[in-house]
Chain A
């Protein structure tokens, strides 16, 4: 079984400050990890993924995430927040296992950037 926890339902950050959205996961095996963003009335948009290799991955819109195997975490970060970053963010995991691509999502974190 696989699961994802996003411990914060809501994160508020002042514009220009660094932001972190937390994610921890549980899988029996090696994970593929993803971050998606959801804007109102729009589908989920892919931000970045960790497959293997460098623990720090960079994605769209200046976001990055750090894979920490010992802490089973994959926190999303950005050095300087923009008001346009306000949205609902989902962390997801799938198994590193051929033919088992389904994603398991967390419950989401609503990020609000305060001007």
Chain B
């Protein structure tokens, strides 16, 4: 079956532009996560949804970052007034249930480059 998909795969933005990154989770998966992976580093948690509810946004680095999942399926991560330090790969993951022992399935990521 289809896995987690993300679009666009690559995004180049000029400093100060707004960007929107899309994640389509595996159908039926309750939990959805966003992570940021800087070059040469492991992914770092940004935010987490159970269905449409955003339960944890403690990892969002600033108020320029905003995520939503209005119908409990597709999610969008928006970054306003992008800065060079926002350049990274943004990973989306989904998991089946509310219980933490389920593995997360990752999408291929969106590589954001801010010039």
Q: In chain A, what residue has the closest Cβ to B101?
A: A51
Number of interface residues of B (CB under 8 A): 31
A90 within 8 A of B: yes
- Per the 8 Å Cβ criterion, residues 16-73 of B in contact with A are 31, 33, 35, 40-45, 48, 50, 55-56, 59
Q: In chain A, what residue has the closest Cβ to B50?
A: A99
- Chain A residues with Cβ under 8 A from B1's Cβ? none
Bound CA–CA A32/B42 (angstroms): 17
- Chain A residues with Cβ under 8 A from B100's Cβ? 32, 94-101
Q: How far is the CB of A81 from chain B (nearest CB, A)?
A: 22
Q: In chain A, what residue has the closest Cβ to B92?
A: A43
Known: A102-B45, A104-B45. 14 other contacts (CB 8 A): A4-B42, A32-B101, A34-B103, A43-B108, A46-B104, A51-B101, A98-B100, A101-B98, A101-B99, A101-B102, A102-B48, A103-B45, A107-B41, A108-B40
A-B contact pairs, 16 of them (CB 8 A): A34-B103, A44-B91, A44-B106, A90-B42, A90-B43, A94-B100, A96-B101, A97-B100, A98-B98, A98-B99, A101-B99, A101-B102, A102-B33, A102-B45, A102-B56, A105-B42
